[in-house]
Structure 1
Amino acid sequence: MRATDAAGAGATGAVRPDAVVASLRTAILAGTVEPGSAVTEALVSETFGVARPTARIAIDRLVSDGILEREPHHAARVKRLGRDDIADLFAARAAVESAAVELLAGTARVPADASAAHERLLGLEADASYWAIDLAFHRALVQGAPSTRLPRLHDQLMGEIEFALAQVDAHRLRSTREVAAEHGRILDAVAAGDAALAEHLTRSHILASRDRLLAHFDMQHGR
């Protein structure tokens, strides 16, 4: 794990906690720091050239986001999603996102950010990493729903969703073209004002990723 040269550096050269959080998050999601690895204040401090309090803030933030986990009196570690974690996370995600998209389709309005993310995904090479764009697409749909509570619930799941989507992408469990095609059908249903279809397509899309990730987990663990 290594820090970028000047990310987050201010006029004095100090690295802000947000920059440390972003760089550490990127390293974890890219697989540079593997699941189960300890992330200590000393490691973060040395890697990013920051004081221990800044390192502590960054670690606490990622624990709060669900990317790191920490037991009392132990160092934080990169979260390792178990089979039950995967099933539960995607069930919660499907419930929140499908409800949000159903409400959104009632307005027959496609959020501009969702359309933009879809266009970016269509422009990617077939083997390019897509999880960040995928995440932006889903977040835009939820944020666009006429609800104040569903986006808040989604934000609470976001760290773990991000972590899971990065794994789906890293192991090439779903192709860029497959994901883009499903996104396109969801947008068409929203634009047409077909709430039932939009809800169904969103739920099916999310649970398909769950099923691929669970199958991969079972294969890795000899199930």
Structure 2
Amino acid sequence: MSDAVAMDDLVEAMSHRGTPMTPESALFIVLQAVESMKDRRVVLDAGGIEVDEHGVVKINELCSPAVDDREAQEGVATLLETALVPAPATVLELTAKLRSETVFTHSALAAELAAALVPLNRGAAQRMLGRMVREHHRPVRPEESDDEAADADEKLTRGLDEQGQKPSQSADATEPDATVRDDWERPAKKGPSTLQALVVLGMSTALLGAAAVFLWSRLRG
């Protein structure tokens, strides 16, 4: 299981990422670990429980052999108490039952764990475990070092200071005309007024009329 992750490593990594493993997910891992024990009895340990990218759970040699069913039960109770933080009330009841005088068979122990997960959708729960492992293998983006962060802050501050020193266009518009507008083009002089234009037009019309009368009289003579 080259892509498998130990349960304790997965719990720790998820906590560091800011997304702690839910009690339900941890309980489902323990359930699958108990189911994988089958005919052998071991003391379950979070470091000896592996989860792969398909959500499949197996136990390895780090889970030491148990002397009897009682020791195996005690191992499950201890694992539940340490892996599920905070432990739901149903789990606390389960651990108390596991530490009672009753010694469960393997199938009965698995049934007790499954009952604490009701309703249980095994397919969805297993896919969720697979996503957790794949997320665990995804590289974490390195955080910016303190020196780089300080340098970035300095550049940002310097850029803002330089921007603040630049005169704005609205400030230019309020400067005195004596110095700012010396090189401006002078406005062109306005043409003749409307009244003057009408007088000139009237005189031109009168001259044209007189010329026409003169020309007509010559033609008749």
TM-score range relative to shorter protein: under 0.3
Larger CA Rg, structure 1 vs 2: 2
The answer to which structure, 1 or 2, has the higher relative contact order (CA under 8 A, 6+ apart) is 1
With structure 2 as the length reference, what TM-score do the two structures score?
A: 0.27
